[in-house]
Structure 1
Amino acid sequence: MHVSLTGWVLSIVVLCLLVAVDFVIGRKPHEVSVKEAGIWSAVWVALAVVFGCGLWAVGGSGPAGEFFAGYITEKSLSVDNLFVFVLIMAKFAVPAQYQQRVLMVGVLVALVLRAVFIALGAAIISTFSWVFYIFGAFLIWTAWKLVQDARKGGHDEEYEENKLLKTIERRFGVADRYHGTKLWTEQNGKRVMTPMLVVMLAIGSTDVLFALDSIPAIYGLTQEPYIVFTANAFALMGLRQLYFLIGGLLKRLVHLSYGLAIILGFIGVKLVLHALHESGVHVPEIGIAFSLGFIVAVLAVTTVTSLWASRKQRRNRISAGPENR
């Protein structure tokens, strides 16, 4: 699929306008209601569907299928990322009215990082075809790690600050309370960071780790940088609203890590098969239609089994009595 420079420029301009609209919506700090989050989540999903249909009309079912497979995969990985966002918000006790501002900055940082990683990935792939072996092996290892973490009880109960963040805190100091949405303030005659800036840095640093998983995953579904970029952009666009919409549901998705592990492992195998095919080895390749169906089926089954298991656990706690809860 060939996308002209004009097409790239128009797409980036439109996406920037959408980001600007999102910033305008959340410019005033307030606690986001489930209704507001639901409406805007539906809007962002509808825009992604419209874009995918537009790709179908212009480029055919192939590019559209790759976009939808990439979008669904990236959206699923984003949901898993929300677990970490919840832990970060709890760790730094972010007031409800400021959470959306933190998330907006986090999403913007993620978009910039994804753009950089996508450009690097495209350059590497065009030069070294054997990089697909590395991408495939990395995704299979990531899938195995997800399974191991899930068997140990899933995500940690508390967010642990990384060494870089701790070093920055020691270097500049941190205020003892929030000062609205300010990032810097004066305390004891010294200019120090506010907890708001620390939270933004925490989410921004985790965005780097998230990109390491998501970029190889989507390159396993399509090698078109345009589709990779737009799928990532649309998946991240509604992340802020999704956080408020399914915040209470996250703890009930107990099998999500297993589902993502299956998907990442599947894409990893797909990448290895593609690399072998590119090397002249006659092996079957997995088509995008099968990939899209497989991803949707895994997520559907994972969601159903997660909700069933959560309901069963809740019933067991109720039947056990208050003394055993």
Structure 2
Amino acid sequence: MDVSLTMWVLTVVVLCAFIAVDFFFGRKPHEVSLKEAGIWTIFWVVLAVLFGIGLAVFEGGTPSSEFFAGYVTEKSLSVDNLFVFVLIMTKFAVPAQYQARVLMVGVLIALVLRAGFIAMGAALIASFSWIFYIFGAFLIWTAWKLIKEANAEDEEYEENRFLKMVERRFPATDQYHGTKLFIRENGRRLITPMLIVMLAIGSTDILFALDSIPAIFGLTEDAYIVFTANAFALMGLRQLYFLIGGLLEKLVHLSYGLSVILGFIGVKLILHALHESGVHTPEISTMFSLSVICGVLIITTVTSLYATRSERLKAEAEGKTSGQDETESAERRS
């Protein structure tokens, strides 16, 4: 796609306008209800779908299919981010009424950081075609790493170096003071846990960007599509956190599904790099990629729900058996 500077500016302005509307409605600290989270989730999904349809009308089917493939990929990887967000919220004991504000600012930080990563990735691709080998190998390695992490029993959030540096250099309070980021206490300017947890959400996304940005560049080399797919995926993330918070624990096979997707895109990137180098290799189409991604996500969701249901029924059966044994034992003693 040949996107003019005017189109870039217009896109950013419109996105900022929608973000401002989202922020306006959620400006007052409150616990987000399922109804509110559902309405805003649908809003952002519909907005992304309309954008993809607009690309199909004005630019053709290829950019549109690339956008949808990138959006679905980024959205699925973003759901994996929510697991870490839950750990961060728990570690910092964020009150329920402040969680929406934390996520809003954290996601905005993540969006700005990802824009920088996207610009860097586009520049590397334009200058060095062999960068696809590195992207591909990195995604395959990440896929293997995800499988290993999925087999780990317990997962805890560990503060990154940036966050530890902030906590060492800037004195902080132990308690939340509403949505304030700074307070003055005994003549000293202190940061609050609210600022720390916002930085935790935003800076943690850098690690996820290292996976997701190469992944979407494996589906499209168009920086405009990469940026918009990331923007739409991230901006609906805050509401999705509250909508499927209880469902996250049931998606026990999500990491396996994401590892398959990342591994598939990694192979696609390497095949593309070989093709660009003059080696006769098959090119994987965007539509086929989209079908694989959606198929893996559907299968993963179904198997996850089945596995958690089976575990629940097994636990209930064991509980009933244990209760019956205790009752029979008590009767024999009497």
Q: TM > 0.5 between the two? A: yes
The partner residue of 2:295 within 297, 302, 309 is 297
Deviation of 1:324 after TM superposition, in Å, equals 7.6
Decide whether the 8 Å contact of 1:139 with 1:217 is kept in 2: yes
Task: Write the letter of the residue equivalent to 1:253.
Answer: L
SS in 2 for 1:321: helix
The partner residue of 2:228 within 214, 227, 230 is 230
1:49 aligned residue? 49
2:15 aligned residue? 15
* Partners of 1:231 and 1:63 in 2: CA distance: 11
Decide whether the 8 Å contact of 2:37 with 2:240 is kept in 1: yes
1:94 aligned residue? 94
* Partners of 1:183 and 1:141 in 2: CA distance: 38
5+ unaligned residues in a row in structure 1: which ranges?
none
SS in 1 for 2:84: helix
Normalising by structure 2, we get a TM-score of 0.94
Which structure 2 residues correspond to residues 138-177 of structure 1 after superposition, within 5 A?
A: 138-153=138-153, 156=155, 158-177=156-175
* Partners of 2:292 and 2:259 in 1: CA distance: 13
* Partners of 2:177 and 2:198 in 1: CA distance: 14
Normalising by structure 1, we get a TM-score of 0.97
SS in 1 for 2:54: helix
1:243 aligned residue? 241
* Partners of 2:189 and 2:216 in 1: CA distance: 43
Deviation of 1:188 after TM superposition, in Å, equals 4.2
SS in 2 for 1:191: strand
* Partners of 1:91 and 1:323 in 2: CA distance: 36
Q: Aligned in 2, Cα 1:151/1:245: closer, same or farther, shift over 3 Å?
A: same
Deviation of 1:162 after TM superposition, in Å, equals 2.0
Deviation of 1:163 after TM superposition, in Å, equals 2.8
1:40 aligned residue? 40
SS in 1 for 2:183: strand
Decide whether the 8 Å contact of 2:110 with 2:203 is kept in 1: no
Decide whether the 8 Å contact of 1:317 with 1:324 is kept in 2: no
1:3 aligned residue? 3
SS in 1 for 2:11: helix
CA-to-aligned-CA distance 1:237-290 (integer Å, 9 cap, x gap): 100000000000000000000000000000000000000000000000100010
After alignment, is 312-321 or 42-51 more displaced? 312-321
Task: Write the letter of the residue equivalent to 2:34.
Answer: V
Decide whether the 8 Å contact of 2:160 with 2:204 is kept in 1: no
2:110 aligned residue? 110
SS in 1 for 2:202: helix
* Partners of 1:241 and 1:125 in 2: CA distance: 34
Percent identity over the alignment is: 72
* Partners of 1:37 and 1:68 in 2: CA distance: 22
SS in 1 for 2:190: strand
Task: Give the greater-gyration-radius structure (CA).
Answer: 2
Which structure 2 residues correspond to residues 274-285 of structure 1 after superposition, within 5 A?
A: 274-285=272-283
Indicate whether 1:198 and 2:196 are aligned: yes
* Partners of 1:177 and 1:110 in 2: CA distance: 25
* Partners of 2:58 and 2:108 in 1: CA distance: 29
Decide whether the 8 Å contact of 1:175 with 1:187 is kept in 2: no
* Partners of 1:49 and 1:324 in 2: CA distance: 51
Task: Write the letter of the residue equivalent to 1:131.
Answer: I
* Partners of 1:304 and 1:37 in 2: CA distance: 23
Deviation of 1:186 after TM superposition, in Å, equals 2.6
SS in 2 for 1:22: helix
Indicate whether 1:255 and 2:263 are aligned: no
